[in-house]
Each structure stands twice: as C-alpha cells, then as structure tokens.
Structure 1
Amino acid sequence: MVAAARRLGSLLDDLAASRGDLLPWAPVVFALGIGAFFSASEEPGVASALLAAVGIAAGLVLRVRGAERWHVPAVALVLVLAGLLASMARTQMVAAPVLADRYYGPVTGRVVGIDRSFSDQVRLTLDDVTLNVVARSRTPERVRIALHGDDGFAAEPGQLVRLVAHLSPPDSPVEPGGFDFQRIAWYARLGAVGYTRDPVTILASAQRETDVWAFRARIALSRAMQSRMEGQAGAFAAALMTGDRSGVSRATTEALRDSNLSHLISISGLHMGLLTGFVFALCRYGLALVPPVALRLDTKKIAAIAALLAACFYLFLAGPSVATRRAFIMAAVMLSAVLLDRRALSLRSVAIAAMIVLGLEPESLVEPGFQMSFGATVALIVAFQHWKGIAHRVPSLLRPAVALCLSSLAAGTATAPIAAAHFNRIAEYGFVANLAAVPLMGLAVMPAGVIAGLLAPLGLAGPALWVMETGCRLILTIAETVAGLDGAVIPVPAPAASVMPLVSLGAIAIALSRARWLNLLGASGVALGLLSWSLAERPLVLVAAEGRLVGVMTERGRALSKETGASFVASSWLEADGDQAEQAEAYARKAFVGIRGKVSAGLGPFTLWHVTGKLAARRAEDLCRPGAIVVMEGYWHGGRPQCLLYDAQSLARTGALALGLDQSGRVQQLAARDLSGKRLWNDRALRAWRLDN
C-alpha cells in the first residue's frame, strides 16, 4: 500500500509538472463525461445534475486551494462532470414534440430543407407544421417527407406547401446496438418522417423571411451552377460549394463511398481548409506584390482576416449543418491563432476547436463526421511533426510527392477504423483514389470555385466554371473507376459497443503522449479493441420492429424471410454482418421455406415461423404450439399463447430483437430497448412529461 501510494504521488507530481502540455487532453476528458451521458441506460434527472454541479464546485475548490499535485485531477474531474452537464442541458434545450403514432392525411408546412432519401427520392423538410386532428402542442416542429410520386417538383425555400403524406415517428434501431436514428432526429428536432405519392400543392410562394435567406441563396446558387455544368459534375460542384446535395444521385454517392472519396461531397474541414487556405494565400501574396503595402502592414494578419470573412460567408452559404459548423470552428480557431501570433495548426488549436464543438453540440461526439474530422486532423499534425525531422533526407524534388503520400496515409489510417465501424466497409483502394482526387480538389476545383464567385458579378465566371466542371468530372471518373475495381470494397461486420472507445482512446494516447508507458498502454488498447472486433459474433436471429422481417444466420450468410419489403432494414442487417448480398440474394439462401406470408426455418429444437399479410393473425393462431417461435406482422387476437410469440404489440415495447440459443437449447433474447435505454428520444411517456412540464 505504501509503495502504491508513493507511485501515485509520483504520478501526480509528474502531472503537475507537465500540466502546460495537457491542453490537448482537455477535450478527451470532456468527452468522457459526454460518453457517460450517452451510454446511460436511463435519462439522468435533476438529482444527477445537482450531484454533477456539486462535483464541479468541489473540483474548482480543490483546484484553487488544494495542493499543486491535485490541480490536474481536479481539472479532470471538472471537465468530466462539465461534459455530463453540457449533454444534459443540450438534450433538454432541443426538446420538441415527436409524433405519437402513425398518421395519414394532409400536411401543411414551410420548406426549410431539400435533399435525397435512401431510395434516391427528393425529400423535403418542413417546419411550421400543421396536421389534421393533431393538437398543436403535439405537432412535430419539423417533418421530413420523401416525394415518391412527384420527383420533378422544384421546391423553393420558404414555400408554404400542402400534401397528403404517410408519417410515422423516427424509427428505432433496426437491431440491438444498431444505428439510433431516434437520437439523431431528436437533436435535429425532427418529429416525424414519411413519404407521399401525391402531388405537392403550393399554398404560398416563398416569402422574404430572414431565417431562410441563406437557404434561398444556397439553392439559387446551386441551381445556377447546375445550369452551367452538365450532369453529375454540376451536382457534385454545387454540393461542394453550397452543401446542396439534392442533385447528387445515389449511384454517384455509392461510387464516392466505395472509393473512400465520400468526404469530398460533405462540406467539412477539408473544404473549409482549402477555401480559407486559397483566400489566405491569394491575399497575402497579392499584397506582397504591392511594396508600399507589404512594407507598412502586417499582410499575414490581413490575409487571415480575409480568410476568416471567407469562412463566415461559406458558413452562411452552405448552411448551419453540423459538419459545416464544425469545419468553420476549426478554421476560425486556426486563423485566430495567426492573428494572435500563435501556430495555426497545432494540437492545442485542434483541442480548442474540439472543446468549442463539443461544448455547443455534445452529440457530435457519437457522430462519424466529428470522429473522422478530428481523427484525421490529429493524425496529420502528428505525422508532419515527425516529417519535419526527416524531410531533409528526401530529395527536394520528391518532397511534395512524399508529403502528399504521407498525408493521405496518415489521414486514411486514422479514419479507416471509424469508417469501417460506422459504414461496415473498407475501401481497399481509397489511398490511391485520394492521392489522385485530393490534389485536384486543392489545385483546381476549390480555387476555380472561389475565382468564379469573385468574377460572377462581372459576368466573367465562365472559364473558372469550366475548370471547376472539368475537375469535378475527373474526380467522379476516378471514383467510378476505383469503385469498379475487383475487391474495391471489403465488407466488415459491425463491432461491439466497446471496440471504438478502446481503439480511439488507445490511438489518442499514442498520438498525444510522450510517456512510453502510456504509449504502450494505448497500443494495448488498440490491439485489444481490434482483436475483440475480429472475434465478434453476429446474432443468430434478428427480428425487425413490428415483425416486418426476420433474418437467420446460416453458413452462407444471413437468410431473410422476405424477398422484398423492409429494404432499409434488410440492407442494414446485411451490411452489419459484413455481407455484400442484396435482399433478393439473401432470401434465395432458402433457410426459410413455405408460401408467401407464411414461412418457417429450423432453429435448433424450435421451428421459427414468420407470418405476414392480412391472414397473419389467423395463421399465427394455427401455428402457435409448443416448440414454435412465431413472429407475426400485426396483433395477436388469441388467448394466452402456447408458443414463444412476438407480435406488433410486444415488439413495440422491445424494439428489434436479437435471438440466440444457449448451451441447453433455450432461447436467449436481447432487445434494442435493452441497449438504447429509457431516454428522451425513445420513450414516449418520458418525453410527454418533459414537454408538459
């Protein structure tokens, strides 16, 4: 005990001595509190908030009045609890009504968003929503509707429209531990999603509301660019400059994703960095050509101010999406560092940007965009810190090429596990695709876009737009070529929930620490996380919420109970299995046999039945016998079931299910609700109480 106490005291003394170098760790510790909030099984209440506040006060007192060796632990305690409190506050602040049940009928609202759905349909986001027979206090603040029957409708920002739509609450995870759309929708204040097959009626043309000025400018510029550039090259260019992705087809999106170039179409740190970097260089070197100005003024700071203004305009134009705000904050912090005569690109500036992003939007922590942006940035900084020490050994003519390869390798290595965990795929040739495409973005596409914007008022944007269109066409050609190569995509099964925290914390320890023992601990965390990922087993049986689909794992992969229908659920399951099969291929594996609406599969000592359609209730009553597992689409109307029964009512309580067999042959069940917990975004009673109070 004495030896352990001495070692602890020595460690605290070392931390106290090096606390000036611990700033990069601040967002990591802050994120621990955010992670604790999102991993909780129940929504933290007032008591938790009070305890956290008391803990913060105690930490501050310890920091001010305690011994110096306790200063760092006190700050760490404050940061962890502050992360928890920030998450709680943000979750309460965004609270908005969520549709209680399915709805079919008239929907009236104002157009505040235009994009494309999973099925490649134009999709409208409406606010100021009115629903028939739904009280105003229970009407969602925002709804999102796919236009299945009117794909050619050219919506205008701010239009008041009316349509007849099928709406439902945001979907729960398609499997236990799967992607939680309910949580994403909660923070976006999206209270219902759905579709319409009927034409959209315009009730009022777009008004001059100030809150849609940016949206109107974005759509106008996007359509102007697409009118000057043909095909997907124009849609791609418009997405780069304005964030409007409604013209980008699903085929283009998949080609970019399969070639690891999807980050090019989402306005992120890369775009903001290229834009501000070009404006900074243009201003600085332009002013250097005017000797009286260059000799009297600090052109570097003038260029930084100009670049910051350009970043502000880009934020206004591209819209306040999470990725765009995050990119702006990173650029603003780095340009502010230039104004304050500090290093623009350093781990400290990245840490400050991360703290601002997480403080404003703690939910960003669990989103792939945040993880990939900051992971890539940290990897690049660390890589080029080492590059400085060896660059002189490389011939000067080769240094740009080697630096480009190093940057692609560092960023790709940092983001590959994150992309694999979220999207269940690794782009095998992504390194090559980025080597070819990113220089085109930096040297041609983004500079041409800026120049076109400057020359457009003079009517001289044509040549710059041609350069931009040519560059975009080349990037899309690279994406399609790479995506079409054999083995371009390596499917990866979904990891367990503990894998990415282990891998991420381990990688951060390696990147940020100079202590050898911490580097070894970090490497062990990464190795343990990857090992547990490789040994993970997928569920034997998956049951979709409401009983729409059932999937059984076989030697050839997961077999599905339906050839069509519930396509999003089917694709999500197969991707999470690391399986590239389409739904029809998975159905053809023939683990299920029977007639349409009544199929069965063997499951150890049980027979697993899936019954759907209008006759589901009657068929379920006939099949529900001892030794049977019956999954039915609809409600059970019989008495006490003699089988293990899952109907719409029971699945509404549990969400999607994962079923397995233990060593004695008994059925084991894991529900999506077991892992999602009782949170504001998924519990109707809890949410209603919050909104009523």
Structure 2
Amino acid sequence: MLARICPLSVVQGCLTRIERERGRFLHWVPVFLAIGIGVYFQLPVELGRYAYAGLGLLVALLGLVSVRWPWGVGPLVWGVVLVAAGLLLAAARAHYVAAPVLDFRYYGPVEGRIIAVDRSQKDAMRLTLDQVRLTDTALDRVPKKVRISLYGKEPYAPAIGQRVAITAHLSGPNGPVEPGGFDFQRMAWFRGIGAVGYSRNPVVLMARPDGHGVGVQITRLRMALSAWVREILPGETGAFAAAITTGDRSSMSRATLDALRGSNLAHLLAISGLHMGLLTGFVYQAARYLMALSPSVALHRPTKKIAAVLAMLAGAFYLLLSGGNVATERAYIMVATMLIGVLFDRRALSLRAVAMAAVIVLVLHPEALTEPGFQMSFAATTALVSVFGWIGQFRGRFGPRWVQPIMAVVLSSAVAAAATAPVAAAHFNQVSHFGLIANLLSVPLMGMLIMPAAVLAALLGPFGLGWLAIKLMALPIDWIIGVAYHVSSMEGAIGYVAQPPPTALPAVAVGGALIVLLSGREKIVGAALVVIGGVLWTNVDRPPVLISQTGGLVGVLKENGRALSKLKGDGFAASVWLENDGAPLPQSEAYALGAFRGDNGVSRSQIGAASLVHLSGKLGSTQLNEVCGMASLVVMNRYADQSTGECWVIDAEYLRHTGAIALWPELNGWRIETARARQGDRLWTRWQKDQQPWR
C-alpha cells in the first residue's frame, strides 16, 4: 500500500536530492531557525517550563540521532532540530529580557537618568530614562526604562547621563490599535521599556551627567558629535548629516522624513548595510591603494588581509559611534563576516557569508526577525548576492568597461527595490513608484562623496580640520533632500496597499528563500509560495467596524473608505486604521465621509441591517438608556453606570480587558475579534490581567 502511495523511486530521489544539500546546509540554517522563531511569536499561549524542557530534550535526542542516522535523512532531522532550537532561542531571549511593566495608570513625579533622546510620532522631543523612581511604588513594580514625550512650551536641551525629574502621565505600553496590528507591547518588552507617557511640565535637572558607564560615555560622545555636525551644517542638511554619521535623528523634521519615505530614500538615514558597506568598502580600498604606493609593502605583505582588518576596525568604531542598535549591529556582523572571509582567502560576498551573518543575528536577537529592518536588509542582500552571482558568468557581455559601473548601480538598485518592496508594503502600507529613479540619483553620491567625506572628517578631526570634510557633505546632501522632495511630490509617486493577512508575508519570504536556495525546476516550489502569498494579500478582508482600545473612536468601512466617528481624538489609531486600509486620509476627511451623524456626544451609523451608536464624553454617556432601545450596538469611552439587556454595550471596562476590537456584522449579531485574543497569553501581555485603572 505504501509503495502505491509513495513509490520507492520517488523516496530514493528525494533522499538523494536532500543528500546533495549536505554541503550547502549552512545556507538552510537561518531558514530553519527563522521558522522556529516565527512559530514562537505566533503561539497563542506561553509554553510552560516543562514544555520547554521537553522540547530541549527532543532537540538533544534528535541531534544525537541525526549524527548516527543512515544516509539521506540526517539533513531532514537537523532541519527539525533547528526549528525547535529557534523556538527555544526566542523563548530564552523573551525570558532573559523580562522586566517589570507598569500595570496601572500613574500620574506624578518621575525621576531617572536620560539614556536616549529622539522624537515621537507627533514630532515631540522624547526622553528614555533608566534608574527610574516613582512615588509610592514598590521597587519590584518600577519599570526598568520609561519613555516620556515632552509637549511643554519651555525649550530644553537634554544631555545623555543627566538625572532629571518631571511630573508625567505614565501607563504600560499600549497594545495593537486593531486585532493583528503592530504589537508595540512586544517590541517594548524586548527593549526593556516598561512604561510610556507624556508631560506638559518643565523638566527639572537633578544631577549633571556622572560619567559612569561605558554605554553612557559612548552615547554622550555620539550626541556631542551630532551637535558638532549640526553646528557646522545648520538646518535639514546638518540634521541629515548627523543622522547618517551618528544615528541621531532627533533634529530631522517630519516633512523631510515623509519626503524620504515617499521617495524610497529613508534607508539612507538608517545606519545599516548600505552605510556600513560603503564605509568599510572605502576604508578597505583606500588602505590597499595606500599600501600599493610602497613596493616593499605591496610585494612582501598581505595587503588584502591588512586592509580587511583595518576595515573591520573602522566598522567597529562606526558601530559604537552610531549607538550600537540592532540594525547597525546586524550590518556590522554581515560586513565582518565577509571581511573574515577575505582573511581566510574565501569569497567575501557569498550566500555562505550572508547565512552566517543571519545565524549570528538570530542567535543574539531572535526578536529581530519580526522587525522590518532585519527583513529588508537580508532580503536585499540575499537577492543582490544571488543575482550578481548568476550574472557573474556573463562578465564582459554588458558593453564597454566604462558602462559596467553604471549598469551595476542600476541593477543593484532595481534588485534591492524589488526584494524589499513586499516588506515595505507590508509594514508601511505604501509603495514608492518612482523610488528606483530617486535611488539612482542619490545612492551613487552616498558612496562616492558623502561616506568618503565622513571618513575624511574622522581622520582630520584630531587635527581640528574635520569641519572641512563635513562642509564637503553639504552639496550632495542638499541634492538628496531635493530629490526626495521632488520625487515624493510627483503625481502618483506613492501607492497605498492594505495590510496583508499574517500568513502572506511569511509565504512570500519562504518562497523567495526557496527560489534562491533550490535549483532547476525545484524553484517552481518557491515561485508557487510567492504566488500564494500574493493571492492571500489581494484577498485580504478588512474589518467593517473597528473600535479603539479607549472606546473614543469607531471606524466603519464604506464604499468610499473608512468613515470615523469623531473629527479629533485617538489620532494615532485613526491614522493606523486608514493606512492599513490602504487609504491614508487625514482624520478630518475620514470623518467628513458622513457615515456617522449626530451631535452632543452621540453619533449614529448604519452597517447593513445593524445600527451602531457611539457615545463619547460625559454628555454622551448620560444618554445610554435613550439610545439603547434604538441600536443593536452601543460603544462608549466611559464606564456604563447601569446594565441593560436591550442592546450590546461596549464600554471602557469591557475594552480594558479586550483591547481594540474588530467586528463583522452577521445575520444573528456580530462576529467579534479582539486585540488581546490575537496577542494571546504571552509574557508581554500578562501584566494586563491585573491592570488597575489609576493610582
């Protein structure tokens, strides 16, 4: 019977094919690890210690078996081992970073040390504090880090390491603004941020920077260099230069950031693979050229390996200077892996080097798998290495030598854009139609002028002449900013797409990996997965009704877009909903669609045969009994003082346990999906079970 279902020749053929992959198994390691990590983040509940112990024992047993197993099956068993190991790695990391999360709403004095300064979504200055103290709060409940946005009118120039005090509103990190949306709670958990909030009060300096801690010293140096660069190059030019040299974006205006995103040039700001590659590449080539000037050195010394070491040292310094975030760390690991290949006389740019870098990053930071930076970086690098490896055999067939650099820039920009487009569309809900043009006009300047000028500034800095090199960056940076504004303002420059279902992007990613790793007709399997992911994406079912986690906003999907119940309020939820719909209108325009009618805190809308009423504010909440008899669903942002069986009431107490809600009308009522249910019972959500309203 088994022979009829699966002929022996087919089984033998599969085993033979698997055995051929034994020599290339390193290429598959990050794929299997990523699958395991992805499974961990999709679990509906956190596994217990016995489950993890059993899984660890299974990994050990399968690893032992795979070493002694007969021909052909070993790689398969190792694949299972790596998937389980990826799950265990992610779980271990999640438990390792565990820290208290504020489980009540706090208003009062907050004292702490400044460890980071950036800007919020609303373009307000934002401070991240550690060594936190809260009034009347037990030490074991005080968060390790808090992040506070400053909305006061009083100007303030913060310095890393200062100890400050401020009266602020704090609460635990908010959950997704809709079921299945971006999980800020999970991101904050892995970054150690246990509370977020805001203040309109002045900041009080309690103590000047004490200078203790290597991390604080490096951050202070980075911010000092950023201020020095902005002093030499004022305005947006200096802000751009500071961002690409030190990672400090706190001076970038929202308009410039939007222009860079709309023209697909925002990656120029992130200190990642492009910057690290340009910097280390410039140092590597410059070192080789300088050593070639001395015949004795060029003939008797391994100049290539010396240049590789110098490039790694330059990259390490750049890593420290930029703040050492995960994206920059990932970029340095990739570059260092390739340069180590040079030291051992291996190909510097190969899939093996990319795979090794991916493994190192996933082991150190498993949570990076869920972040767009990791996904875009490795998607672009893998695609570039594969494509240029394939066309390497056609070297010399693309015209004269002077044309080949131009062709390389065009091809690399096109390949990177194609590889990262699905990731950018999934995370940011937009596609830049003219991004290739903008990159062709901008990326060469980064490699030929801006990054070499940055290296020259570092070399001339000790002699007091670094400002000369910084000045050289002004014109090319102004050109890039001008290109960004021009391209992003062109008609049809930006296309918007709806948020895909959770299975779409993983299907596309795995399919793309299989296209790269498999050979011949086997690539059809990967192409089929990519097509399946695209079909899932195009058939996404957006919720007809969305309710914010505060109950202060309701969005109803109509033929002309999602109409909102309020002109103002819950602006972040409104913007995310509209972006996820693929129609990012201003909140005022979404309200003007007219699906809601009423006044004095009472807004009514009709969804098919169902009627919905949104009550907001104190005045609206007093009309619950009056509207309940004429509506099948009432949403309110306050606590219902009385219970009623005449209609379904979703009030602040209900939403405190469910988070944001999505609804689909049905014949016998509503189908409901909550943000908390989609998140599951995980480490980063458990604090909400006993959450208290205020203290």
- TM-score norm. by structure 1 comes to 0.97
Are 2:440 and 1:435 equivalent residues in the alignment? Answer: yes
Are 2:468 and 1:463 equivalent residues in the alignment? Answer: yes
Q: 2:141 aligns with which of 131, 138, 141?
A: 138
2:600–2:620 CA contact under 8 A, matched in 1: no
Moved more, 442-451 or 332-341: 332-341
Q: 1:446 aligns with which of 451, 454, 457?
A: 451
Q: In 2, distance between residues paired with 1:151 and 1:276?
A: 42
Q: 1:683 aligns with which of 675, 682, 686?
A: 686
Counterparts of 1:368-387 in structure 2, within 5 Å, are 368-387=372-391
Secondary structure (helix, strand or coil) at the match of 2:177 reads coil
Shift of 1:97: 0.5
Amino acid at match of 1:651: L
Shift of 1:626: 6.4
Q: In 2, distance between residues paired with 1:589 and 1:124?
A: 38
1:275–1:447 CA contact under 8 A, matched in 2: yes
Secondary structure (helix, strand or coil) at the match of 2:395 reads helix
Which residue in the other structure is 2:163 paired with? 160
Are 2:290 and 1:286 equivalent residues in the alignment? Answer: yes
Q: In 1, distance between residues paired with 2:690 and 2:513?
A: 36
Which residue in the other structure is 2:410 paired with? 405
Counterparts of 1:30-429 in structure 2, within 5 Å, are 30-150=33-153, 152-210=155-213, 211-396=215-400, 397-429=402-434
- Flag the 1:205–1:433 CA change in 2: closer, same or farther, 3 A: same
- Flag the 1:72–1:237 CA change in 2: closer, same or farther, 3 A: same
Shift of 1:128: 0.4
- Flag the 1:686–1:364 CA change in 2: closer, same or farther, 3 A: farther
Secondary structure (helix, strand or coil) at the match of 1:330 reads helix
Which residue in the other structure is 1:2 paired with? 3
Structure 2 unaligned regions, length at least 5: none
- Flag the 1:5–1:56 CA change in 2: closer, same or farther, 3 A: farther
Moved more, 383-392 or 265-274: 383-392
1:150–1:200 CA contact under 8 A, matched in 2: no
Which residue in the other structure is 2:613 paired with? 609
Which residue in the other structure is 2:25 paired with? 22
Q: In 1, distance between residues paired with 2:668 and 2:646?
A: 18
Q: In 1, distance between residues paired with 2:398 and 2:342?
A: 29
CA shift digits 1:48-105 (9 cap, x unpaired): 2112112111211212221122210121111111101101100000000111111111
Q: In 2, distance between residues paired with 1:596 and 1:125?
A: 39
Secondary structure (helix, strand or coil) at the match of 1:470 reads helix
Q: In 2, distance between residues paired with 1:391 and 1:9?
A: 38
Which residue in the other structure is 1:652 paired with? 656
Which residue in the other structure is 1:521 paired with? 525
Secondary structure (helix, strand or coil) at the match of 1:565 reads coil
Secondary structure (helix, strand or coil) at the match of 2:617 reads coil
Secondary structure (helix, strand or coil) at the match of 1:645 reads strand
Amino acid at match of 1:297: R
Counterparts of 1:542-553 in structure 2, within 5 Å, are 542-553=546-557
What is the RMSD computed on CA atoms of the aligned residues? 1.4
Shift of 1:17: 3.0
Which residue in the other structure is 2:568 paired with? 564
Q: In 1, distance between residues paired with 2:629 and 2:137?
A: 42
Amino acid at match of 1:593: R
CA shift digits 1:120-168 (9 cap, x unpaired): 0111000000111211110110001111114631100100000011111
Q: In 2, distance between residues paired with 1:594 and 1:685?
A: 34
Moved more, 638-647 or 266-275: 638-647
CA shift digits 1:320-365 (9 cap, x unpaired): 2111111111111111111111111100000000000001111111
Q: In 2, distance between residues paired with 1:676 and 1:626?
A: 34
Which residue in the other structure is 1:579 paired with? 583
* Percentage of identical aligned residues: 46
Amino acid at match of 1:238: A
Structure 1 unaligned regions, length at least 5: 689-693
Amino acid at match of 1:61: L
- Flag the 1:150–1:55 CA change in 2: closer, same or farther, 3 A: farther
2:154–2:202 CA contact under 8 A, matched in 1: no
Which residue in the other structure is 2:489 paired with? 484
Shift of 1:474: 1.0
Secondary structure (helix, strand or coil) at the match of 2:181 reads coil
1:121–1:151 CA contact under 8 A, matched in 2: no
Q: In 2, distance between residues paired with 1:151 and 1:350?
A: 48
Shift of 1:473: 1.2
Amino acid at match of 1:263: H
Q: In 2, distance between residues paired with 1:467 and 1:337?
A: 34
Q: In 1, distance between residues paired with 2:284 and 2:95?
A: 40
Q: In 2, distance between residues paired with 1:151 and 1:36?
A: 47
Q: In 2, distance between residues paired with 1:513 and 1:22?
A: 12
Secondary structure (helix, strand or coil) at the match of 1:610 reads strand
Shift of 1:5: 5.6
Q: In 2, distance between residues paired with 1:516 and 1:560?
A: 50
Amino acid at match of 2:503: S
Shift of 1:412: 0.3
Amino acid at match of 2:390: H
2:102–2:195 CA contact under 8 A, matched in 1: yes
CA shift digits 1:663-688 (9 cap, x unpaired): x2521111112211111111216899
- Flag the 1:137–1:185 CA change in 2: closer, same or farther, 3 A: same
Q: In 2, distance between residues paired with 1:581 and 1:670?
A: 25
Amino acid at match of 1:511: V
1:368–1:418 CA contact under 8 A, matched in 2: yes
CA shift digits 1:15-42 (9 cap, x unpaired): 1233102321110011111011000000
CA shift digits 1:559-604 (9 cap, x unpaired): 0001111111000000000003110000000100000421110122
Q: In 1, distance between residues paired with 2:369 and 2:467?
A: 41
Moved more, 182-191 or 318-327: 318-327
Are 2:606 and 1:597 equivalent residues in the alignment? Answer: no
1:681–1:687 CA contact under 8 A, matched in 2: no
1:604–1:665 CA contact under 8 A, matched in 2: no
Name segments (4+ residues, structure 1) moved above 4 Å.
685-688
2:103–2:688 CA contact under 8 A, matched in 1: no
1:605–1:627 CA contact under 8 A, matched in 2: no
Which residue in the other structure is 1:691 paired with? none
Shift of 1:463: 2.8
Count of residues paired in the alignment: 686
Are 2:629 and 1:631 equivalent residues in the alignment? Answer: no
Amino acid at match of 2:35: L
Shift of 1:538: 1.0
Amino acid at match of 1:467: L
Secondary structure (helix, strand or coil) at the match of 2:123 reads coil
